[in-house]
Amino acid sequence: MADTEALRARFARALEGVRGPGGGPDPSPYADNLLGRWQEPQRHYHTLTHLTAVLDRVDELAGHADDPDVVRLAAWFHDAVYLPDRSENEERSARLAKRALPEAGVPAERTAEVARLVRLTVTHDPAGDDRDGQVLCDADLAILAAPPSSYAAYTAAVREEYSFVPSDAFRAGRADVLRRLLALPRLFRTPYGQEHWEATARYNLRGELEMLSTPAVPPA
């Protein structure tokens, strides 16, 4: 169970790091709105647990970022709007950030940067000199390098979010996603991610793809 009080404090620190202490209204209502979004009933993977994990990985990679608090705010917003049957979740999440952050006291330039980073999670393909984008994308994809039991829980949660998709269609679509990921020259862009997560993530992806590609055995 995610610690909502701790998350509320983490949001306040990131917000104040971007706008300056006392540089705007009380962070709590903004944190509460986001926490409510991350606890919506249609979510099974994109939950407070995922948010916490991404924030933890951003902290782990913060030395690579140019503006770590902007990346932290982007992590808060990157799946703030999430409906599994919709394709524009990242765009709607970015627009939410562009509405909420100026009201919360964030300067326009840094608001725009948060929105840009959120949109980057559509492709997870940051430029070679985009250090903040590399940190956010690596943090979001770090689950791919999880230990076997955690990776199995992740894939089960993703399947549950897409429970409205028939089994054969889901297997085919998920396999396409895995093949695209495995075809990338690198899954992770930060030096830390490449060293610590790349090999394990590729092992997990190949194992899942092999499982999805194995024909189901009909009951006797």
pLDDT digits (tens, 9 = 90+) for 102-136: 999 999 999 999 999 999 999 999 999 999 999 99
Query: What would the two tokens of residue 186 be?
Result: 């690198």
Mean pLDDT of all residues in 43-65: 98
Other Cβ atoms less than 10 A from the Cβ of 3: the count is 11
**3-state DSSP assignment of residue 46:** coil
Query: Does residue 220 have a pLDDT over 70?
Result: no
Q: Does residue 23 carry a pLDDT above 70?
A: yes
- CA triplet 189, 175, 212: central angle to 5 degrees? 125
**pLDDT surpasses 60 at 219:** no
Give the whole-angstrom CA distance, residue 121 versus residue 136: 8
Instruction: Answer whether 0.75 is exceeded by the pTM.
Output: yes
Number of other residues whose CB lies within 10 A of the CB of residue 173: 13
Residue type (1 letter), 142: A
Structural domains in the chain plus CATH codes: 4-213 (1.10.1300.10)
Cα angle for residues 14, 27, 119 (degrees, 5° grid) = 55
Residue 214's pLDDT is 78
Residue type, 220: A
Tens of pLDDT, residue by residue over 133-187, are 999 999 999 999 999 999 999 999 999 999 999 999 999 999 999 999 999 999 9
